[in-house]
Amino acid sequence: MLQISVLASSSRGNATVISGGGTHLLVDTGISALRIRKGLKECGLTVAQISGVFYTHEHQDHVCGLGVLARKDALNIYCSRYLARDLRGAAPHALYTYLEPGSPVQVGAIKVTPFCVSHDAADPFGYVFECGGVRLGYVTDTGRIVRGMPELLSGVQALYLESNYDPEMLQNSGRPYELINRISGNWGHLSNQQACDFVRSMVHPGLQHIILAHISPECNTPEIARRAMQQTLDDISHPACLHCAAMAERLPWIEIS
């Protein structure tokens, strides 16, 4: 069995806890160390119980809490070799394990397989977490669905999936043209519609949970993102549980079996 609790997710900060077989992992530390500690406490955990911190990429909304977090606790960090160069400044005493896309690592009871996504960062990764035959796909900060991704994720029981923006809200957001192009481009973020199309491409009878994540506070709302995905699930008659991760409050444990 795997469990996931999203401490926070949006363009303003991201951090997630994943547990399985007595092993606890953190994915990204893009909120304050104080909030991470508080969120872990609500999960019944402490930083000392985290066996590994996995990073998706170097943007501040995914890493900013690391420096303060690493001052008090010894951390085992898993990321690309390039990203480790960046993170060492904030966490010089952490232990680093370099990841290669497609090469799984085993951390306690959880097997983690990184894969490439398409984002304007150095080595951005998505992940598949696996424990006791249960799999969770983790896809965020990608401007498009990279070839091979639907096949890689086609057997997962749960999917954490970016549903970043509503195209109309993005166009009317008053943001600079370049920023709008960056967000909606191939190296930016997934729109609600792209997230829906992706689910259509990889859905299978065993997919139980979909967690919509990285929802933009300015160019989307949880209601719009949820409505779009629910419509897709209704269209394909697939009864998955739909969850929306938020910036302000923790998404309580979801159990995946």
Part in contact with Zn ion (CB under 5 A); list of ranges 40-48, 83-91, 134-142, 239-247: 134-142
Cβ-closest residue to Zn ion? 59
Part in contact with Zn ion (CB under 5 A); list of ranges 20-28, 55-63, 70-78, 190-198: 55-63
- Residue 213 has phi, psi (to 5 degrees) of -135, 175
Burial 67-101 (b: 16+ CB within 10 A, else e): ebbbeebebbbbbbeebbebbeebbeebebeebee
| 108: alpha, beta or left? (left if phi > 0; alpha if psi -120 to 50) | left
Residue of 12, 59, 200, 238 that binds Zn ion (CB under 5 A):
59
Residue of 123, 141, 162, 166 that binds Zn ion (CB under 5 A):
141
Nearer to Zn ion, 73 or 218 (CB): 218
Nearer to Zn ion, 130 or 141 (CB): 141
Q: Which amino acid is at 156?
A: V
Query: How many CA atoms lie within 13 Å of 191's alpha carbon, on the beta-carbon side?
Result: 16
Which sign does the torsion angle of CA 177, 179, 185, 189 carry?
A: negative
Is residue 28 a contact point for Zn ion (CB under 5 A)? no
Nearer to Zn ion, 129 or 165 (CB): 165
Residue of 61, 123, 130, 162 that binds Zn ion (CB under 5 A):
61
Q: Which residues bind Zn ion (CB under 5 A)?
A: 59, 61, 141
